[in-house]
Amino acid sequence: MTSKTILRALAGETQPVPPVWMMRQAGRYLPEYRATREKAGDFLSLCYTPDLAAEVTLQPIRRYGFDAAILFADILLVPQALGADLWFVTGEGPRLSTVTAQSDFDALKPADAIHETLSPVYETIRILSRELPSETTLIGFAGAPWTVATYMIAGRGTPDQGPAHVLREGDPALFDALIARITEATIAYLSAQIDAGAEVVKLFDSWAGSLKGDAFDRYALAPAKRIIAELKARHPGIPVIAFPREAGPAYEGFAKATGADCVALDNSVDAAWAAEHVQKDGCVQGNLDPSLLVTGGDALVAETKRVVDAFSGGPHIFNLGHGITPDADPENVHRMLEAIRG
């Protein structure tokens, strides 16, 4: 049995103290991150400079001793590797050239052509494999096909993923082809991350909640199942965390339907409900409200303990329900860890 607590939770072990990490734990709330990002010059340069990307991945491990480090990268590196133009607008976020017509799709590269662009990411993982403490699990990740497609179709983040829904309904053949291309690229990308040293991979479906009914099954559940099956065929024993954010009742049964070893939960889901309906199928991850790391105080401690207690009857990885925000107080992370670890 491994001594790594995250891997033990993913294997189904219930532990007296849950292992813990945070989504976006390497980020703007940390002064050391801001200094390194300034050194890199811009966000994409930070992602593609292995020494600096490894450094920011290591910063929260040094400061807090989390049980896992998650690779510092971005879900939109895959569309860029497929041939989309990608840039970041300060204060507004990412922008992409769009895929809305067959000619746009035809201009994309094949899925197996991504590695040239993404090779610096694999080098970051190799550095981390050498430099992380022996007890710390290294998590790789990618965006899930639906979420990545929403950005590729709209060219940016949108409040309701409207452009992607319009294409999905108006030109299903083109939409299905795009989902298939992203799915194959994601398999290739995550497989290469595992070869480089990632011990767990996570699939972020940040916009899964805007898919309803059959559309959820077809575009959130089915691609996850395909990716997980292929990764496990290539890398037997590799654990996979799935995060179909805001799936609501569809969280129930998601692990069994996809083959995921763990389902990450957003903070709109009640922990007691999830313990009864989701954790029965295996490990769950989550799901503290990130806003509590801004406000802190007794509410942070009480809610942290409530989440720990709710999931104490089964395998659990403590995390937030979404990424930590730039305005979070680094001291509140210490308070959260004290509440978890006593």
Q: What is the pLDDT of residues 34-71, one digit of tens each?
A: 999 999 999 999 999 999 999 999 999 999 999 999 99
As a whole-number percent, the residues of the chain with pLDDT over 70 amount to: 100
Averaged pLDDT for residues 113-130: 98
Averaged pLDDT for residues 317-327: 98
Averaged pLDDT for residues 120-128: 99
Averaged pLDDT for residues 272-296: 98
Please count the CA atoms within 13 angstroms of the CA of 287 that sit on its side-chain side: 24
CA dihedral over 200, 133, 291, 88, signed as positive or negative: negative
Averaged pLDDT for residues 275-300: 98
Sorted by where each begins, the domain ranges of the chain are 5-341
| Mean pLDDT over the full length of the chain | 98
Active site residues: 24, 28, 37, 74, 151
pLDDT for the residue 246: 98
pLDDT for the residue 320: 98
Is the per-residue pLDDT at 2 higher than 90? no
Write down the pTM of the prediction.
0.98
Amino acid letter for position 49: T
Please tell me the distance from the alpha carbon of residue 337 to that of residue 58, in angstroms, as a whole number.
Answer: 17
What CATH number does domain 5-341 carry, 3.20.20.210, 3.40.50.300, 2.30.30.30, 3.90.220.20? 3.20.20.210
Averaged pLDDT for residues 180-192: 98
Is the per-residue pLDDT at 257 higher than 80? yes
Confidence tier at 91 by pLDDT (50, 70, 90)? confident
Averaged pLDDT for residues 315-323: 98
| DSSP code string of 132-169 | S-TTPEEEEEEE-HHHHHHHHHHSS--SS-HHHHHHHH
Please tell me the distance from the alpha carbon of residue 151 to that of residue 298, in angstroms, as a whole number.
Answer: 38
